A and B are shown apart, each in its own frame.
Chain A
Amino acid sequence: MNALPAVDRNALLARLREILPADGLIEDQESQRPFECDGLSLYRELPIAVALPDTVEQIQAILRCCHSLQVPVVARGSGTGLCAGAMPHPEGLLLGLSKLNRIIEIDAQARSARVQPGVTNLAISQAAAPHGLYYGPDPSSQIACSIGGNVAENSGGVHCLKYGLTTHNLLAVDMLTVEGDKITLGGAGLDSPGYDLLALITGSEGLLGIVTEVTVKLLPQPELARVVMAGFGSVRAAGDAVGAVIAAGIIPAGLEMMDALAISAAEDFANAGYPRDAQALLLCELDGTEQEVEQHIAAVREIFTDHGATSIRVSADEAERALLWQGRKSAFPAVGRLSPDYYCMDGTIPRSQVAHVLEEIARLSAQYGLRCANVFHAGDGNLHPLIMFDGGCPDEIARAEKFGADILELSVAVGGCITGEHGVGVEKLAQMQSQFSEAELHQLEDIKQAFDPGLTLNPGKGIPILKRCQEYRSLPGRHGHG
């Protein structure tokens, strides 16, 4: 029922030229190249055209046009996503929202900011800083990633255990439906009228609508933040220490773990003073009032000592805190120096399973003959194994993909999930079927159809298409490895 008519490219382009200024429409393939993939460059595709609107009215006109022609629309923010969620559709339009980059209003007394979707995550905190406020979620890509993309992916970061994910830090979004109708979800207060569609939109990967404005909550900047770094002789000891911190009633602002390979890669890159002899490293940040931080630092130091920490260092000032984080924050590029390519996984597991899962990953690493470094949001159980491979070698690509799939299935098997914060996109479609039953996938598909009956918003991503739409123009085998 959903086989779409072949797209009339000329008709589409003619109408888009009427809507957009010349520099807002990219038709030639060479200029489209920068848009062929997001941060997961394994998956690439070129669209019919790239639209770069600079007003909400233009977006509305584009959506109406695409809806009438039944042309797929893929939204893109900054293109930093890690699941190919923003990979273009070969017979669709790529809708880039980066020109909508205005901070509309900061209401300090209400602790909120109204911004356009293309504003970067970090820019919100910078604009809020003069008021002593900041925006909580801080994905590693926060310099570049857009708030619209954060909404689409329900992005996290290193501070989510205490401050939550994107979904906990939104008040409202303005959204255009697939038909181009404007609605506001959420509001100025905390209650929703009717169903909480704001919750449903957050993390929906551009499958339900196009976000044109976001109102975020702002938090007071903590008076003080300090980080405790500790090395451990085993992953298990570090994992137990994490559990003990939580059991002691302390919720750290950030709690990160790295394994031996990640420690040495990060140390080579950042010279942060990480203990190279350690098998596992914990970075535990405490924030709040001065009194609270001092009390918690003392408690955490004692817990780490009791759990056999081989070294402990506490940041004395902001410069040292930044240095200690520098290693962790540069872990991805640091691993990038060890290998031509790496593939970042995103499973989330119950924290008690970390030692078991890391042992299994080590076994799989040997089995597939590929190295794997592990960085881990230990506080909330979100694991980022970085599988190293050579993208120039098709066999290594195939092994890396299989290795990654095994890790995701392992995450589900121990009671976790296939993606904590990076999203499903194209990448994890196959694993959705290990996490969800067919009835559950049908329910998800019914939600999709409630918003987008013609299935033209970001088709082929997020939710595997099961029954009604097999003939739909999907992408099997069409992604080129790069």
Chain B
Amino acid sequence: MDMADRTEALREAVAAACADASPLYIRGGDSKRKLIGRDCEATPLDIGGHSGIIDYQPDELVLSARAGTPLVALADALAEYGQTLPFEPPQLQGSATLGGTLACNLSGPARPWLGSIRDAVLGVQLINGRAQTLDFGGKVMKNVAGYDVSRLQAGALGTLGVITAVHCKVLPLPAATLTLAYDMPAAAAISTMCTRALESRPLTGACWLEGRLYLRLAGAENAVRHTASLWGGEQVDDSIWAQLRELQHPLFEGGEPLWRLSCAPNTPHIAQLTRAIDWGGAVRWLQGDVRTLNLPAGAHLTLFQGGDRSSEVRGRLDPVQQQLQRRIKQAFDPAGIFNPGRLYSWI
């Protein structure tokens, strides 16, 4: 791995872009260019060379690394001490970086139970649109000094600045993991997922694909074994979770547009459109004539992959929120140089 601190070089590149108002496309491992956000035409700013673990204290449960550090490198370092990034970010054939993961707020099947990087991030360093290198948050678990700029980066798709370093909470790897499978139609699976999640059991995954409900148990060995004996089902290997996490399930193949609906876990099954259900019911992967769907209350729809990525790929905001979001963008990036149009056409 190329381990180097390129913070100052990145800052200079941002300063130059500021000076002639020339937009930048921030690129880590270039693994998510066709996912989540809109297409963005701008001069690439490569973060990949800015990598390396800055600090890792296993008994503090805190890891700090430069934004371009590949997730696989982090996973290796953490595994040495029996720890992990609890939010199960996709490594995408080894190319995904820590900074890109924060910018996209991508997390795996454990999200409802173990959170996303949005929940794990403790601090960031970023270069704002005035070419200033700024630190927010820190390396401690609790920090309420100032606004939570670190979490604001999660899902901002790099439109608020160049993330250069991330401090985040890590957790022990579970001592045991076990997957249970049940043949079941979607509506029954949703109900089962919600009911099982009410129990105090080591549940860390609940998904439904192709007529099967899968539940994942992870934690202390005897707790996992005991729960499995109570819940029955067929014990299968754990590969389904990696397929979902790495976007390698057949669901993600083929060119058809794939939509992600984020909703309450007990939202009734959306027949016809649903290809898969994850996050214990809180995510529905949809395909087909999705734009005509009457959205459930409080749900958000995103064109995750494929389709027309020059139009908006996420839901409309009301005018008050739109204005507020625009002002937040201006507060960080007054010249609008970072990833223009990646989040919304107007940001």
- Check if B321 sits within 8 Å of A183, measured CB to CB: yes
User: Which residue of the partner chain A has the closest CB to B219?
Assistant: A292
Using an 8 Å CB-CB cutoff, how does the interface string of A100-116 with B read, 1 for contact, 0 for none?
A: 00000001111110000
Query: Given B140, B199, B331, which contacts A348 in the complex, CB threshold below 8 Å?
Result: B140
Question: Shortest CB–CB separation between residue A422 and chain B, in angstroms?
Answer: 7
Query: Given A192, A437, A447, which contacts B155 in the complex, CB threshold below 8 Å?
Result: A192
Question: Chain A CB within 10 Å — which of B298, B318, B325 has the most?
Answer: B298
Question: Shortest CB–CB separation between residue B273 and chain A, in angstroms?
Answer: 16
Q: Which of A18-26, A44-52, A153-161 contacts B (4 or more CB under 8 A)?
A: A153-161
List of B residues within 8 angstroms of A289 by Cβ: 200-202, 220, 223, 226-227
Question: Cβ of A243 < 8 Å from any Cβ of B?
Answer: yes
User: Which residue of the partner chain A has the closest CB to B150?
Assistant: A199
- Check if A450 sits within 8 Å of B330, measured CB to CB: yes
List of B residues within 8 angstroms of A462 by Cβ: 146
- Check if B145 sits within 8 Å of A196, measured CB to CB: no
- Check if A203 sits within 8 Å of B147, measured CB to CB: yes
Query: Given B57, B144, B152, B172, which contacts A196 in the complex, CB threshold below 8 Å?
Result: B152
List of B residues within 8 angstroms of A420 by Cβ: 140-144
Using an 8 Å CB-CB cutoff, how does the interface string of B192-233 with A read, 1 for contact, 0 for none?
A: 001101111110000000000000000111110111000000
Question: Shortest CB–CB separation between residue B288 and chain A, in angstroms?
Answer: 20
List of B residues within 8 angstroms of A202 by Cβ: 148
Give the distance in Å from the alpha carbon of A482 to the alpha carbon of B248 in the complex.
64
Question: Shortest CB–CB separation between residue B133 and chain A, in angstroms?
Answer: 8
- Check if A251 sits within 8 Å of B201, measured CB to CB: no
| A424 in contact with B324 given A187-B300, A189-B298 (CB within 8 Å) | no
Query: Given A188, A351, A423, A447, which contacts B296 in the complex, CB threshold below 8 Å?
Result: A188
Give the distance in Å from the alpha carbon of A352 to the alpha carbon of B115 in the complex.
26
Question: Shortest CB–CB separation between residue B247 and chain A, in angstroms?
Answer: 16
Question: Cβ of B249 < 8 Å from any Cβ of A?
Answer: no
List of A residues within 8 angstroms of B141 by Cβ: 160-161, 348, 379-382, 420
Question: Shortest CB–CB separation between residue A214 and chain B, in angstroms?
Answer: 13
Q: Which of A162-170, A259-267, A310-318, A337-345 contacts B (4 or more CB under 8 A)?
A: A162-170
Give the distance in Å from the alpha carbon of A462 to the alpha carbon of B160 in the complex.
22
- Check if A190 sits within 8 Å of B279, measured CB to CB: yes
| A190 in contact with B138 given A223-B200, A435-B145, A450-B327 (CB within 8 Å) | no
| A196 in contact with B146 given A447-B328, A450-B330 (CB within 8 Å) | no
Question: Shortest CB–CB separation between residue B302 and chain A, in angstroms?
Answer: 7
- Check if B145 sits within 8 Å of A440, measured CB to CB: no
| A381 in contact with B140 given A193-B317, A251-B171, A447-B147 (CB within 8 Å) | yes
| A190 in contact with B262 given A164-B115, A249-B172, A382-B141 (CB within 8 Å) | yes
Q: Which of B13-21, B58-66, B251-259 contacts A (4 or more CB under 8 A)?
A: B58-66
Question: Shortest CB–CB separation between residue A364 and chain B, in angstroms?
Answer: 21
Question: Shortest CB–CB separation between residue A12 and chain B, in angstroms?
Answer: 25
List of A residues within 8 angstroms of B262 by Cβ: 187, 189-191
| A220 in contact with B200 given A167-B151, A204-B147 (CB within 8 Å) | yes
Question: Shortest CB–CB separation between residue A151 and chain B, in angstroms?
Answer: 12
- Check if B134 sits within 8 Å of A196, measured CB to CB: no
Give the distance in Å from the alpha carbon of A418 to the alpha carbon of B128 in the complex.
24
Question: Shortest CB–CB separation between residue B186 and chain A, in angstroms?
Answer: 16
Question: Cβ of A428 < 8 Å from any Cβ of B?
Answer: yes
Give the distance in Å from the alpha carbon of A68 to the alpha carbon of B279 in the complex.
45
| A190 in contact with B116 given A203-B147, A418-B145, A443-B149 (CB within 8 Å) | yes
Question: Cβ of B44 < 8 Å from any Cβ of A?
Answer: no
- Check if B200 sits within 8 Å of A450, measured CB to CB: no
Query: Given B140, B200, B298, B344, which contacts A187 in the complex, CB threshold below 8 Å?
Result: B298
Give the distance in Å from the alpha carbon of A348 to the alpha carbon of B172 in the complex.
22
| A380 in contact with B325 given A350-B57, A447-B147 (CB within 8 Å) | no
Query: Given B130, B200, B302, which contacts A191 in the complex, CB threshold below 8 Å?
Result: B302
- Check if B298 sits within 8 Å of A350, measured CB to CB: no
A267-326 residues with Cβ-Cβ distance < 8 A to B are 288-289, 291-292, 294-296
- Check if A423 sits within 8 Å of B223, measured CB to CB: no
Question: Cβ of B266 < 8 Å from any Cβ of A?
Answer: yes
Question: Cβ of A14 < 8 Å from any Cβ of B?
Answer: no
List of B residues within 8 angstroms of A351 by Cβ: 59-60
Question: Shortest CB–CB separation between residue B140 and chain A, in angstroms?
Answer: 4
- Check if B220 sits within 8 Å of A196, measured CB to CB: no
Give the distance in Å from the alpha carbon of A466 to the alpha carbon of B86 in the complex.
39
Question: Cβ of B314 < 8 Å from any Cβ of A?
Answer: yes
List of B residues within 8 angstroms of A221 by Cβ: 200
- Check if B315 sits within 8 Å of A193, measured CB to CB: yes
List of B residues within 8 angstroms of A292 by Cβ: 202, 219-220, 222-223
Question: Shortest CB–CB separation between residue A446 and chain B, in angstroms?
Answer: 4
Query: Given A183, A222, A291, which contacts B318 in the complex, CB threshold below 8 Å?
Result: A183
Question: Cβ of B188 < 8 Å from any Cβ of A?
Answer: no
Question: Cβ of B297 < 8 Å from any Cβ of A?
Answer: yes
Give the distance in Å from the alpha carbon of A382 to the alpha carbon of B144 in the complex.
11
User: Which residue of the partner chain B has the closest CB to A182?
Assistant: B320
Question: Shortest CB–CB separation between residue A298 and chain B, in angstroms?
Answer: 11
Question: Cβ of B332 < 8 Å from any Cβ of A?
Answer: yes
Question: Shortest CB–CB separation between residue B2 and chain A, in angstroms?
Answer: 27
- Check if A188 sits within 8 Å of B297, measured CB to CB: yes
Question: Cβ of A247 < 8 Å from any Cβ of B?
Answer: yes
List of B residues within 8 angstroms of A203 by Cβ: 144, 147-148
Question: Cβ of B343 < 8 Å from any Cβ of A?
Answer: yes
Give the distance in Å from the alpha carbon of A181 to the alpha carbon of B138 in the complex.
33
- Check if B154 sits within 8 Å of A450, measured CB to CB: no
Question: Cβ of B27 < 8 Å from any Cβ of A?
Answer: no
List of A residues within 8 angstroms of B149 by Cβ: 200, 443-444, 447
- Check if B151 sits within 8 Å of A439, measured CB to CB: no
Question: Cβ of A246 < 8 Å from any Cβ of B?
Answer: yes
List of A residues within 8 angstroms of B219 by Cβ: 288, 292
User: Which residue of the partner chain B has the closest CB to A295?
Assistant: B220
Question: Cβ of A417 < 8 Å from any Cβ of B?
Answer: yes
Question: Cβ of B306 < 8 Å from any Cβ of A?
Answer: no
Give the distance in Å from the alpha carbon of A110 to the alpha carbon of B62 in the complex.
31
User: Which residue of the partner chain A has the closest CB to B347?
Assistant: A194
Q: Which residues of A contact B (CB under 8 A)?
A: 107-112, 131-133, 153-154, 156, 160-161, 164-165, 167-168, 172, 177, 181-185, 187-197, 199-200, 202-204, 208, 220-223, 243-244, 246-247, 249-251, 288-289, 291-292, 294-296, 348-352, 377, 379-382, 415-424, 428, 432, 435-437, 439-440, 443-444, 446-451, 462-463
9 extra A-B contacts, CB within 8 A, seeds A177-B324, A292-B223: A108-B198, A109-B198, A183-B318, A189-B264, A193-B315, A220-B201, A420-B143, A421-B142, A440-B136
Q: Which residues of B contact A (CB under 8 A)?
A: 57-62, 81-83, 105, 111-112, 115-116, 118-119, 128, 130, 132, 134-136, 138-149, 151-152, 154-156, 160, 171-173, 175, 194-195, 197-202, 219-223, 225-227, 260-267, 279, 282-283, 296-300, 302, 314-315, 317-318, 320-321, 324-325, 327-332, 343-344, 347
